[in-house]
Amino acid sequence: MNGGVGSCTGIRAAQLADIPDLLALEAEFPTDRLTRAHWRHLLTRGHGLALVFTLEDAVVGNVVLFFRKNSSLARVYSLVVKATQRGKGVARQLMEAAQAEVYQRGLQGLLLEVRVDNVAAQALYARLGYHLERRLHGFYADGSDALRLSKRLVPDRLGAQGLEAAVT
């Protein structure tokens, strides 16, 4: 895959060996960071999936999905891209891969929260077809508000949307 970020790129499931790179990415995130213990649990026993975007064997972005038993929705817990790679399509490709994974698991859609001050991420999610559910006051550890967004990936009873929504 080549989305304008370099010639040797790829998206794959995160591995234990990626934890140092994942922690470095978390350091660029403003709040609610995953710790080494969180990453270890997620990658070995958690009910989730972490996908990483690699550029010349370096992890430059990741998306974390959580799955709940008996839920038809996946939750995007975090999406982080290294500052030097932002604006180059990494986040879009990670989200498209996450949506495809959710669809392949037979789930109906995704939920996520985004900081109200993260305008770039909000624009990305809007381009990907996410819709505002509601504002969550004081959602983040620093007291910042979040916007809860959602996207359906499977046809509803009226036949709207479909697989194309999972990969656009």
Contact between 52 and 14 (Cβ < 8 Å): yes
**Residue 34 falls within a domain, yes or no?**
yes
**Residue 129 falls within a domain, yes or no?**
yes
Domains contained in the chain, number: 1
Q: Residue 13 to residues 50, 93, 117, 129: CA-CA distances in angstroms?
A: 6, 14, 29, 24
Give the pLDDT of residue 155.
Answer: 56
User: For the chain (length 168 residues), average pLDDT per consecutive 10?
Assistant: 51 94 85 83 88 93 93 94 93 96 93 95 96 95 94 64 41
**Residue 38 falls within a domain, yes or no?**
yes
Give the pLDDT of residue 45.
Answer: 86
Give the pLDDT of residue 8.
Answer: 56
25 burial class (0-12, 13-18, 19+ CB within 10 angstroms)? Answer: buried
Could you give the CA distance from residue 166 to residue 120 in angstroms, rounded to a whole number? 21
**Residue 2 falls within a domain, yes or no?**
no
**Residue 4 falls within a domain, yes or no?**
no
Task: Please write the tens of the pLDDT for every residue from 83-123.
Answer: 999 999 999 999 999 999 999 999 999 999 999 999 999 99
pTM of the model: 0.84
Give the pLDDT of residue 1.
Answer: 39
CATH code of the domain covering residue 128: 3.40.630.30
**Residue 3 falls within a domain, yes or no?**
no
Q: What is the DSSP letter of 141?
A: T
**Residue 77 falls within a domain, yes or no?**
yes
Domain that holds residue 97: 9-166
Using N-to-C axis directions, what is the helix angle for 90-104 and 119-127, rounded to 10°?
50
